[in-house]
Amino acid sequence: MSRLDLVTKSLRQNDPEFTGNALDETLRTMLNAIWDYRYFIVTSVQADFRSRVARSRLGFLWLVIAPLAQIVTYAFVLSSIMSQRLPGIENKFSYALYLMAGFQGWLLFVEIMTRNLGVFIENGNVLKKISFPRIALPLVVVISSIINNLIFFVVLLAVFLLTGFPVGLNLLWLPVLLVVNAALAAGIGVTLGVLNVFMRDIGQVVPIVIQFLFWMTPIVYVKDILPPAFQSIIRINPLYWLVENYHRIMVYDQRPDFAVLGILFLIAVVFIGLGLFLFRKASPEMVDVL
């Protein structure tokens, strides 16, 4: 029996009202359901982290080793090309720090979106056996991903300090970016996750789109090196604006562009609304399809 099964069994024993009817057509009822099953959500987040580091000697270090290895690879290959193209930054590690700031935002978005893409399919057996608020599954992904991203941030902050890079007060705006980032990723992820249950081709297409978006986002390069026409094209990408704000507060010590963040948050709200609408409509048929 999986850990998630054990959690739900425990909830059944401790809460006789544990049913799947807690979610109805109103957002207030959905929030109440989330609160009622907070123990399930918290325990599931804990189980998620334990499963990642199970039988691992390095434990939680693996949560940051892989992304750091990716950053080091790009920094080693491209630092000689890009190090002179970061105006206003007087630090020999400037390009590596620029990479870290970009990946801080990119990794959170990709983890939340891709994990929510398959969250209902991966938990199909649990959905068939136990009745519970299914919206809790994406919420567990979001919380777990945010904690993982904060762990990664602590490591990056230590690197910034060790390299002598000044950390400004504008870094305090990071929670605002985190909220906008997580909301946008969750909205898109849940929308695609519901559709993926019924159209599995979506799960094959999304990784290709993510690769395309990665190179359409100024993470491993500075936008100023691109031709003006191409700069106009990549500005269509919402992740361009999101990552640019990570660079603003973490590398250039500037306040985020609140107008841009407001637009991104509105886009996130639209996707969250669409995802919840599709979820409510498709929820009764999900178990049968899975």
Residue 100 within any structural domain of the chain: yes
Q: For residue 23, is it within any domain? A: no
**Res 220: pLDDT:** 87
Q: What is the reported pLDDT for 29?
A: 67
Q: Smallest Cα–Cα separation from 231: which of 220, 209, 216? A: 216
* Domain assignment of residue 22, yes or no: no
Is 158 within a domain? yes
Domain count, the chain: 1
Residue length of the chain? 290
pLDDT digits (tens, 9 = 90+) for 124-143: 777 767 666 677 889 999 99
**Average pLDDT, 10 consecutive residues per value, the chain (290 residues):** 42 42 51 73 80 65 77 74 65 82 95 93 76 79 92 89 86 95 96 92 93 92 86 93 95 93 95 89 76
* Domain assignment of residue 1, yes or no: no
User: Does residue 41 lie within any of the structural domains?
Assistant: no
Let me know if 186 is exposed, middle or buried by CB neighbors in 10 A (0-12, 13-18, 19+).
buried
pLDDT of residue 17: 41
At 188 the pLDDT is 96
Domain assignment of residue 84, yes or no: yes
With tokens 């290895």, the residue in question is 69
In this structure, is residue 118 part of a structural domain?
yes
**Residue range 17-54, pLDDT digits in tens:** 444 333 344 466 667 767 776 787 888 888 877 777 66
Cβ 286 vs Cβ 127: under 8 Å: yes
Domain that holds residue 191: 58-289
pLDDT at residue 282, rounded to an integer: 83
